[in-house]
Homo-oligomer: A and B are copies of this chain.
Amino acid sequence: MERSINFQSKFDLFEDHWSPKVIAEMNDYQFKVVKIKGEFVWHSHEDTDEVFVVIEGVMQIEFEDRTATLQSGEMMVVRRGEMHRPFSEEECKVVLIEPRGVVNTGDERSDLTAPMDDWL
């Protein structure tokens, strides 16, 4: 049984934006792939930090006091409770790491709220 997971192969399996798909679990944490393009909603996660890793492309994360840019091969930890808004001019391929059960829009509900536990 081979259990290695190729990020690019996973990204090849879907086309929609802003809808994270679970590709692996480590203890009670999940690894998710998501394609992003355009603007997400302002939100925060009151109970947990969240990690973004950019696999391909460029994304930005707007915070209340600054905007961060993340390139391919870079990661960022967004702290619990920290208001943030991800966005990307061009399509960007991202791996998210966070505990099982996290809603993508945090404490906000919007048209961009995606199902949890959507395994690829």
Q: Is the CB of A77 within 8 A of B6?
A: no
Q: Is the CB of B99 within 8 A of A97?
A: no
Residues of chain B lying within 8 A (CB to CB) of residue A51: 24, 26, 31
Residues of chain B lying within 8 A (CB to CB) of residue A8: 73
Q: Is the CB of A6 within 8 A of B55?
A: no
Given A2-B68, A51-B31, A77 contacting B25 (CB threshold 8 A): yes
Given A7-B75, A74-B6, A26 contacting B49 (CB threshold 8 A): yes
Q: Determine the distance from Cα of A99 to Cα of B48 in the docked complex, in whole angstroms.
A: 14
Give which listed residue, B3, B6, B69, B75, contacts A31 with CB less than 8 A: B75
Given A6-B73, A31-B51, A75-B31, A26 contacting B97 (CB threshold 8 A): yes
Q: Determine the distance from Cα of A76 to Cα of B75 in the docked complex, in whole angstroms.
A: 18
Determine which residue in A29, A68, A70, A76 has the highest number of CB atoms from chain B within 10 A of its CB, and name it: A29
Q: Is the CB of A27 within 8 A of B49?
A: yes
Q: Determine the distance from Cα of A80 to Cα of B75 in the docked complex, in whole angstroms.
A: 25
B-contacting residues, A76-108, CB 8 Å = 76-77, 80, 97-99
Q: Is the CB of B97 within 8 A of A4?
A: no
